[in-house]
Structure 1
Amino acid sequence: MLLALLPLLGCAALFALVTWQVAAHGPLRSADERLGRSLFGDGPASVTELLADLGSTTVAVPVLTAAAVYVVWRGRDWLRALAAALAMAAVPALVLPLKLWIARPGPLEPGTGLYPSGHTATAAVAYGAAALLLAPYSRLRLRPWVMPIAGMLTLATGVGLVLRGYHWPLDVVGSLCLCGVLLLVLRSVLRWPCVLHRERAGPDYDAGSAADGR
């Protein structure tokens, strides 16, 4: 049991460390700002802007919505879809108070409230939750790629945000740690017997999945 909790505890501990350093103007924050200034402006602006936009609500949330609609249509997985939607709703509930409390100034533009990165959090939970929903419906040869693709989209968002100067690197790291906790909790919830599609669907689902390679 404790071994299963280690990833969650690790994400939570790293998030606490990063948040403390950013809030207290610690040495990690100073190093972060030096690193950020050296990275701002690298790469083609059109590409980095596109990457940063992967974390906007107009791009990421529809991906999760489509995944939720698919699993409801395909397998009547209402509880799984609801759990993913609640995880997405938890993002602003967690991120916005932290932004107001930390009130970190932006790298290149006036204003505060940069920590943690909302775009990174939106990308992490939207793509991660979509992958968790779709994995049971993916063909066996594609299933191992579902979560890595979600991870690559999230990392691409963070890279774009930093290179465009919208966020400091630790803004992105803090969001990844916070949303790592959210996604690990969501994964555990989706494994509860009451929300497992296989538990509800019975032998017909198993036979059908085996027949078409899922």
Structure 2
Amino acid sequence: MPGPSTHPERRSLSGWLLAAVLAASSTALTLAVRSEGPLYGEVAATRWMRDNTPGAIDRFADLIDPVLTDLAAPAVFLAVTALVWWRWGRYPAVLLVLAGGCTGLTRIADLVERPRPTSTVEWTGYSFGHGGYPSGHVVFTVLVLGTVALLAHHHAGPRIAPWIVGAMQFLIAATSWTRVSRLEHWPLDVVGGGLMAAVGLLAIAWLHPRLARVTVGRPRIARLLGT
């Protein structure tokens, strides 16, 4: 009969397999999108999303887009981190900071050199500093808001946690969709950003119960991390 640790071991193995699949998929997609033009189906999908997105979703995007720019996002991140520290403590805030560090994945954009769609959904020349792959908005929201949802699941009360998780999921979904519908990105820019960020989010989920164990017998580190 399997021992009591069988299920945790299976979950751990499943997590590693999922991370490996996501990382491999992200790498393969990153190589694929370096072609001279959009991949099959991207133009049609982009036009459909542009033409069929409800006006309410676009208006919502008008509200959230300004706070996710390169200039505003750091301030938003600091505010969210401060709120997490205030409500749930230092340790969750440390994990959120680690997640924020992973948003540096967006800097790969100038290596891939993939242009954004034009207003007529056409391919154009690449301009340094304006790469579209991966979507920085998607990387940021999946990593940061996904980590907030993860922390809420563990640290918020049972009545408020589902609301926080649901709100974070909605923000991630709305941001991902409108990056395409508003012609800021091609669909695979969004998919690539989601895959990259998902690997980082899995790493944070793996660290959450384990980082605290490192502080056992190390009081200075324990005080630093708030464990």
2:98 is matched with which residue: 83, 86, 89?
Answer: 86
1:151 partner letter: Q
Structure 1 residue runs without a partner (length 5+): 197-214
Per the TM alignment, residue 99 of structure 1 is displaced from its structure 2 partner at its CA by: 0.5
The code of the aligned residue for 2:32 comes to: Q
- 2:177 — aligned with what? 159
Give matches, 1:13-52, under 5 Å: 13-24=24-35, 29-43=39-53, 47-48=57-58, 50-51=60-61
- Alpha-carbon distance between aligned partners in 2 of 1:184 and 1:160, rounded to the nearest angstrom: 24
Give the TM-score normalised by the residue count of structure 1: 0.74
Specify whether residues 138 and 78 from structure 1 end up closer, same or farther in structure 2 by C-alpha distance, changes over 3 A only. closer
CA deviation after TM superposition for structure 1 residue 62, in Å: 5.8
* Distance in 1 separating the partners of 2:190 and 2:34: 15
Shift of 1:22: 0.6
CA RMSD of aligned residues (A): 3.0
Q: Name 1:138's counterpart in structure 2.
A: 156
Q: Which amino acid is 1:69 matched to? A: A
For residues 67 and 106 of structure 1, do their structure 2 counterparts lie closer, same or farther at Cα, with a shift above 3 Å needed? Answer: closer
- Identity of counterpart residues, as a percentage? 27
Change beyond 3 A, Cα 1:49–1:164: farther
Superposed displacement of residue 180, structure 1: 0.5
- Say which structure, 1 or 2, has more relative contact order (CA 8 Å, 6+ apart): 1
| Number of equivalenced pairs | 192
Cα distance in 1 between the residues matched to 2:102 and 2:207: 14
- State the one-letter code of the partner of 2:194: L
Distance 1:86 1:125, change over 3 A: same
Write out per-residue CA displacement over residues 131-189 of structure 1, whole angstroms, 9 at most, x where no aligned residue. 22333332224434543432221111011111111111111111111110111101111
